[in-house]
């Protein structure tokens, strides 16, 4: 017995050694060949290039970026910020749309169920890249700035969307303050109040009324900065480029179908017994959903949702096909400027791995917050 165990131990140890040697040899081979190849092409190795000035300008930089002055590292940071910007926008918008689709699929209204199912099947069976190209083609086929009329202060043109935004005005601050105070007050009432339970609509209306109060008292609306057409250009307003709109719209429309199916599945995964218990207790449907079903569904959905969100961060790299400069696009530019393929790829890979891991950690934290002791 002991002999055969030591024999098999020896075998395992030798197998380990073989694996170790194989991995080592492979790495050595890669480094040796690569080193020779790079020397032959006259490419220096190392990360020194990061601190050299960048040669190419960046469209859609999130801050002023001057090629020849700012470094390659700063260019990559700009790209990283753009990646995160796209991802954050898409995650928020797609979650809202996905929630609508998921709940719509479970609606009692047959038409709504059908519309949601049709949308989901139609959109998710087409590659996201086609959606991006289509959205971009649509964004470019909009009328030019001079052929369009402002809609509620916003200009929607083939040069992008130009939206009004609040000007610095103390009235906005006052309005926000009364709104928050009113919301907190109503929430407090709801928690500790007696017979009267204000519903969601009353909640929103009261908050809005409180926000309008300072306007009424002062007798004027707060100021907005609105875009205006000047020649072929548009001045003022919050501008969104056609590229950004196309990538955010396409990723949102596409991702929402997957989120919707996850949310539907999670709600359906809540055991029938839970529904029956709420029926036996005569709970109103709104309470059933909000207090019993949704909290349990969220816990089921969270791991799958976080996978999907990480997928959004990775898919945002596809913005490169329509020329929106996020980290992969800029990495590609830096690569062609410097020839440092291995290093640039290492930076890109590290960025995505780190962002994915950080996001997973965040989701795990949320998961433990929503977790409860499991029944056995």
Rule CB under 8 A: say whether 127 interacts with another protein: yes
Rule CB under 8 A: say whether 15 interacts with another protein: yes
Closest CA to 292 of 280, 283, 304, 302: 283
Q: Which of 151, 232, 365, 372 binds another protein (CB under 8 A)?
A: 372
Rule CB under 8 A: say whether 16 interacts with another protein: yes
* Pattern 347-366, another protein, x by CB under 8 A: -xx--xx--xx---------
Q: Which of 1, 3, 7, 12 binds another protein (CB under 8 A)?
A: 12
Q: 312-331: which residues touch another protein (CB under 8 A)?
A: 314-315, 317-318, 320-321, 328, 331
Rule CB under 8 A: say whether 1 interacts with another protein: no
Rule CB under 8 A: say whether 106 interacts with another protein: no
- Is 130 or 177 the residue whose CB approaches another protein more closely? 130
* Pattern 221-260, another protein, x by CB under 8 A: ----------------------------------------
Rule CB under 8 A: say whether 103 interacts with another protein: no
Joined tokens for residue 176: 């926000």
Q: For residues 161 and 239, is the Cβ–Cβ distance under 8 A?
A: yes
Rule CB under 8 A: say whether 7 interacts with another protein: no
Q: Which of 5, 7, 110, 369 binds another protein (CB under 8 A)?
A: 110
| Secondary structure, 3-state, the chain | CHHHHHHHHHHHHHHHHHHHHHHHHHHHHHHHHHHHHHHHCCCCCCCHHHHCECCCCCCCCCCCCCCCCCEHHHHHHHHHHHHHHHHHHHHHHHHHHHHHHHHHHCCCCHHHHHHHHHHHHHHHCCCHHHHHHHHHHHHHCCCCHHHCCCECCEEEECCEEEECEECCCHHHHHHHHHHHHHHHHHHHHHHHCCCCCCCHHHHHHHHHHHHHHHHHHHCCCCCEECCEEECCEEECCEEECHHHHHHHHHHHHHHHHHHHHHHHHHHHHCCHHHHHHHHHCCCCHHHHHHHHHHHHHHHHHHHHHHHHHHHHHHHHHHHHHHCCCCHHHHHHHHHHHHCCHHHHHHHHHHHHHHHHHHHHHHHHHHHHHHCCCCCC
Rule CB under 8 A: say whether 167 interacts with another protein: no
* Number of residues this chain uses to bind another protein (CB under 8 A): 79
Rule CB under 8 A: say whether 129 interacts with another protein: yes
Q: Which of 71, 148, 158, 332 binds another protein (CB under 8 A)?
A: 332
Rule CB under 8 A: say whether 274 interacts with another protein: yes
Rule CB under 8 A: say whether 42 interacts with another protein: no
Q: 195-224: which residues touch another protein (CB under 8 A)?
A: 195, 197
CA 118, CA 126: separation in Å to the nearest integer? 13
State the nearest-atom distance from the C-beta of 283 to another protein, in Å: 6
Choices 12-20, 73-81, 229-237, 241-249; region in contact with another protein by CB under 8 A = 12-20
State the nearest-atom distance from the C-beta of 248 to another protein, in Å: 17
Q: 276-315: which residues touch another protein (CB under 8 A)?
A: 276-277, 279-284, 287, 291-292, 295-296, 299, 314-315
State the nearest-atom distance from the C-beta of 169 to another protein, in Å: 36
């Amino acid at each position: 017995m002991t002999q055969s165990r030591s024999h098999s131990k020896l075998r395992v140890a030798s197998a380990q050694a073989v694996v170790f040697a194989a991995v080592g040899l492979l790495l050595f081979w890669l480094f040796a060949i690569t080193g020779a190849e790079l020397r032959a092409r006259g490419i220096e190795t190392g990360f020194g290039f990061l601190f050299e000035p960048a040669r190419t300008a960046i469209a859609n930089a999130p801050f002023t970026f001057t090629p020849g002055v700012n470094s390659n590292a700063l260019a990559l940071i700009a790209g990283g910020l753009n990646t995160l910007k796209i991802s954050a926008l898409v995650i928020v918008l797609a979650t809202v749309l996905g929630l609508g689709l998921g709940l719509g699929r479970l609606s009692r209204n047959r038409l709504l169920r059908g519309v949601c199912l049709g949308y989901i099947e139609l959109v998710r069976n087409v590659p996201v890249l086609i959606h991006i190209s289509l959205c971009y083609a649509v964004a470019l086929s909009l009328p030019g700035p001079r052929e369009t009329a402002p809609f509620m202060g916003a200009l929607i043109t083939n040069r992008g969307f130009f939206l009004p935004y609040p000007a610095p005005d103390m009235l906005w601050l006052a309005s926000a303050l009364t709104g928050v105070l009113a919301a907190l007050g109503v929430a407090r009432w709801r928690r500790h109040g007696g017979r009267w339970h204000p519903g969601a609509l009353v909640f929103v209306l009261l908050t809005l009324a409180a926000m309008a109060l300072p306007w009424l008292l002062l007798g004027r609306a707060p100021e907005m900065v609105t875009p205006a057409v000047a020649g072929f250009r548009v001045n003022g307003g919050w501008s969104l480029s056609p590229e950004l709109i196309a990538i955010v719209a396409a990723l949102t429309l596409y991702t929402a179908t997957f989120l919707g199916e996850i949310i539907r599945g999670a709600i359906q995964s809540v055991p029938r017994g839970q529904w029956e218990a709420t029926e036996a207790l005569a709970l109103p449907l709104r309470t059933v959903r909000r207090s019993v079903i949704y909290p349990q569904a969220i816990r089921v959905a969270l791991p799958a949702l976080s996978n999907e969100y990480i997928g959004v961060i990775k898919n945002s790299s596809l913005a490169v096909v329509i020329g929106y400069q996020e980290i992969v696009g800029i990495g590609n530019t830096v690569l062609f400027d410097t020839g440092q393929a291995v290093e640039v790829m290492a930076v890109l890979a590290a960025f995505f791995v780190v962002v994915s891991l950080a996001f997973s950690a965040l989701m795990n934290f949320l998961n433990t917050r929503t977790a409860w002791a499991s029944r056995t």
